[in-house]
Structure formats: C-alpha cells, structure tokens
Amino acid sequence: MKKLFCLSILICSLAFVATAQPDGAKTQRHGGSYAFNLGVDVPIKFFKEMSSTGFAFDYAWSDQRFGKLDAKPSILGFTFNMGIAHYLGADDHHGGNLAGYTNVHTYGGVIISPCKTGNISLTGGPNLGLYSGNSKFGFGARADVSWYLTNHIAITPGFLWIKELDVDPRYAITGRLTIAF
C-alpha cells in the first residue's frame, strides 16, 4: 500500500514537471478543460460475486485537453477526477440479494494526448467504500481511453482497480459517455 501511494505521488510530481511551460509557450488547443462522464461499470473476478452492474458519474479537469483539439498538445498533462459509483447487490444464490456497494473517489494523474481526437488517462488516489452501513477507506486506480466522436462527446472505455483494507482487490471494466466543455 505504501509503495502504491509513493508511486502515485511520483507520477503526479512527474506530470507537473512534464507539463510546466512558460506562459508564452502555450499552444492554442481550444479544447475543453472540464468533462462529465456518465456510464456503467461491470465488475469482474471477486467483485462480480458480490456486486452486479454499477452506475457511475464522474467529473474531470485537465487544462484544455478534452474534446477534439485544433492543435496537438504536449504529450503529457495533469488530470484530476472525482466521482461516485453505485453497484447493485448480486444474487447470493440462497434466495436473497447482497447489499449494494457505493464508491466515492478522488483521483489525480496523467493524461496522455497522442492525437487531436483522443486521450489516455491514468489516475489513482483515495476512495471511500460504503455498504451496509459501513465505510472503508481505500486506494484505487483507473485507466481510461477517450475517443471523441464530435467536438464535445466521446466514448470512454476503461479499467478500474479498487483496494480497501481487509478486502480482496475489486476490478471492473468501465464504459462511459463523456461530455467535454
């Protein structure tokens, strides 16, 4: 856990250094700095046994890197993401349903812009799991790929990893509709 925390601090520090530019050197990209994501998470492995489909809402920020861009930005940038996901309880095979699970997160990391019409976001940070009246603090990470169909709308598949104390890691495949502005 300490190694993951130190690694996330290192990645965030590198992102700040890699994207630092004097004010006169900034490229006019005319992209949005904000994005809302609405989507579905499909649990896999152990997580699939205790939760079924999840519904997620996220807000993301990055300096003019969302949407179709007029000019290709520098390859690396910083991004911040926060959101909430609620997973429905799965059938416990004994006549009832397991309780649902809600995850609240705040992630930071790098955004990679290989082209003007898409980006790759690698983020990680703290999260809070809420279920059956209990709460657990944990750490999570996401990898998302956004491909913009229009100037402001993208499809964003991804992968989610969540680790809380005393619980096996939770994995999910994510699918989002992203609206940038």
- 177 forms beta bridges with 38, 155
Q: Tell me, what CATH number does 132's domain have? A: 2.40.160.20
Cα torsion at 19, 153, 123, 21 (round to 10°)? 10
Which pTM value belongs to this model? 0.76
Instruction: Identify whether 29 is part of a domain.
Output: no
Least confident span in 25-39, 58-72, 78-92, 136-150: 25-39
How far apart CA 53 and CA 174 sit, in angstroms, is 10
Domain presence at residue 26: no
Is residue 139 in some structural domain?
yes
- Confidence band, pLDDT 50/70/90 cuts, at residue 17: very low
* Rounded CA separation 139/78 (Å): 19
Flag whether 120 is in a domain.
yes
How many domains is the chain partitioned into structurally? 1
pLDDT range class, residue 165, cuts 50, 70, 90: confident
pLDDT surpasses 50 at 24: no
Domain that holds residue 39: 2-20+35-180
Domain assignment of residue 123, yes or no = yes
